[in-house]
Amino acid sequence: MIIIIEVLITVIVALLLTKICKGKKEKKIKKSIGFLIALELLLFISIPTTFALANPRLEIQDVVEIEVNSNKQIETPKTSYLCQNVSDNVKIIGEIDYNTVGDYEIEYEVPKLVGKYYEKHIIRVVDKTSPEIVLTGEEVVDLSYNKEYEEIGVTATDNYDGDITDKINIERKEISENQIEIKYTVSDNAGNLSTKTRTVNFIDDIAPVLTLNGKEKISVIKGNNYKEQGAKAVDEKDGDLTEKIEIEGNVDTSKNGTYTITYKVSDSKGNVAIKKRNVSVINQPVQAKTGANGQKGVIYLTFDDGPSTSITPKILDILKKKNVKATFFILNYDGAKEEIVKREVNEGHTVAIHGYSHNYKEIYKSEEIYMQNIKKLQDKIKKSTGYNATITRFPGGSSNTVSKYNPGIMSRLTKKVLDNGYKYFDWNISSEDAGDAKTSDDVYENVVSNLSKSRSNVVLMHDFNGNTKTLNALEDIIDYGISNGYTFSKITESTAMVTHSVNN
Ligand code: ZN
């Protein structure tokens, strides 16, 4: 602007000087020139002064903030001087620790036409970055409703303070019956706050409890009806679901085999419970004949091959507790076992003869040998207890085929024992405790599923050493019998014989 005015004045002066040469209004023009020259002189003096006084202009705030540890540094501010961009000439004086929060005073130095220009500023290294919260696991967690939420884990790291996990505040908020919110809050030393939430949904992933009525393994005699006993189902959330149980499977009682009945129930959330029952359709173990005087609905518990020191006393304890009398078909005994035989007699049970020896290959060699085998034991029992045992049971039963090495022996013996004043009993229910029964449940099922009210029930069991499955099933069998209207009795001379068909 100043320069333009100067040029203009110079041009005007030059013009006026030209006019003087034309000789008109000379005086007036001379005055003007004088004024203009004076003005021009003044301006020429003021212009350098103005230049000397003029300062660069820095486009910068008084306090500049810069984030700590951010790898950022201050830049030279945009600077203009005499309408020129002189940013490149700006020099920074002073030190800044960009890794430590604080105020740092620096100076900008800008060269001028005459001398240098300085401007002070505060550079503030600040922590304005919030800490970072990191959740272990998911932000939305599904948890079984019967479990308590336990903190899965959380950490907090700040750009300046480092690990501040121990400063995290954890709040638990109930959103609904099935949902909670975990709120994590942490603040760094500079007061920068961070929050994060985790949602925990309590879900129903628990299947109903399905319980079979009756045993998981049952037997049905071929030709009898299979009675579905059903099952019960209870769900902790949905309550009683018994009516929703689906039962699948058929039992064809006309065919031997094992049939599976499947019970299935699901709760409202689709959690499924499944149970299975194995139903074995079996033949009547042995076709038995019951004498005419057979008492219907009576259970004769019989124990073969004892006495044993480990099992027989415990069986006697149970029988005593339940006030049930039974029949023990015993073998030869010695020592402590004699006391057990005495106890059997004293507690009112029937001590019966199985045989002095159980060795099939010896005892069925001849009628004489067999008769000696029972007589020898009969005499021993009499000597021990004063009791005259006359009830017998053939080792292997009268239907045995192990005696076939002596053809016809069973046909002859079954008559001979009767002729000699003995009675013999087979059985019409086998617990299979010396056979297929593997557990006390098996023993229980084999017995109770074959009980019948329309006949006397002679139950074959064993009290040899180690036969805990029968020992453990016994009380349940007695309870079943009592609660289902059976009576228990021991075999006596007046009991109608229950015998098998002879096969040899
Ligand atoms: Zn036996």
CB 396 within 8 A of CB 403: yes
pLDDT surpassing 70 at residue 287: no
Looking at residue 217, its pLDDT comes to 79
CA of 478 to the centre of ligand 1 (A): 22
pLDDT surpassing 70 at residue 16: no
Integer Cα distance of 384 and 390 in angstroms: 15
Integer Cα distance of 396 and 500 in angstroms: 11
CA of 356 to the centre of ligand 1 (A): 11
CA of 441 to the centre of ligand 1 (A): 22
CA of 464 to the centre of ligand 1 (A): 9
Residues 6+ apart with CB under 8 A from 218: 277, 278, 279, 280, 445, 449
Integer Cα distance of 115 and 113 in angstroms: 6
CA of 295 to the centre of ligand 1 (A): 25
Tokens of 316: 């006697």
Three-state DSSP at 282 gives strand
pLDDT surpassing 80 at residue 32: no
CA of 215 to the centre of ligand 1 (A): 28
Mean pLDDT value of segment 192-204: 95
Tell which residue, 145, 265, 120, has the closest CA to residue 202: 145
CA of 1 to the centre of ligand 1 (A): 137
CA of 469 to the centre of ligand 1 (A): 17
Integer Cα distance of 479 and 319 in angstroms: 11
Q: Indicate the pLDDT class of residue 291, thresholds 50, 70 and 90.
A: very low
Looking at residue 21, its pLDDT comes to 45
Going by DSSP bridges, is the β-strand pair 116-126/63-67 parallel, antiparallel, or unpaired?
parallel
CA of 460 to the centre of ligand 1 (A): 10
Looking at residue 62, its pLDDT comes to 83
CA of 354 to the centre of ligand 1 (A): 7
Going by DSSP bridges, is the β-strand pair 239-240/231-235 parallel, antiparallel, or unpaired?
antiparallel
Integer Cα distance of 328 and 322 in angstroms: 17
CA of 398 to the centre of ligand 1 (A): 11
- What is the b/e burial string over 164-199, where b = at least 16 CB atoms within 10 angstroms of the residue's CB? beeebeeeeeeeeeeebebebbbbbebebebebebe
φ, ψ of residue 17 in degrees (nearest 5): -60, -35
Q: What is the pLDDT of residues 151-185, one digit of tens each?
A: 999 999 999 999 999 999 999 999 998 999 999 99
CA of 424 to the centre of ligand 1 (A): 13
Chain mean position to CA 365 = 63
Integer Cα distance of 84 and 81 in angstroms: 5
Looking at residue 288, its pLDDT comes to 45
CA of 89 to the centre of ligand 1 (A): 119
| Beta-bridge partners for 259 | 279
CA of 288 to the centre of ligand 1 (A): 18
CA of 471 to the centre of ligand 1 (A): 17
CA of 158 to the centre of ligand 1 (A): 84
CA of 359 to the centre of ligand 1 (A): 9
Q: What is the pLDDT of residues 139-149, one digit of tens each?
A: 999 999 888 99
DSSP 346-407: HTTPEEEEEES---HHHHTS-HHHHHHHHHHHHHHHHHHHS----EE--TT-TT-SGGGGST
CA of 358 to the centre of ligand 1 (A): 7
Q: Indicate the pLDDT class of residue 2, thresholds 50, 70 and 90.
A: low
More confident residue, 11 or 448: 448
Q: Give the H or E element holding residue 58.
A: strand 57-59
Q: What is the pLDDT of residues 37-61, one digit of tens each?
A: 777 777 766 666 666 677 889 998 8
CA of 486 to the centre of ligand 1 (A): 26
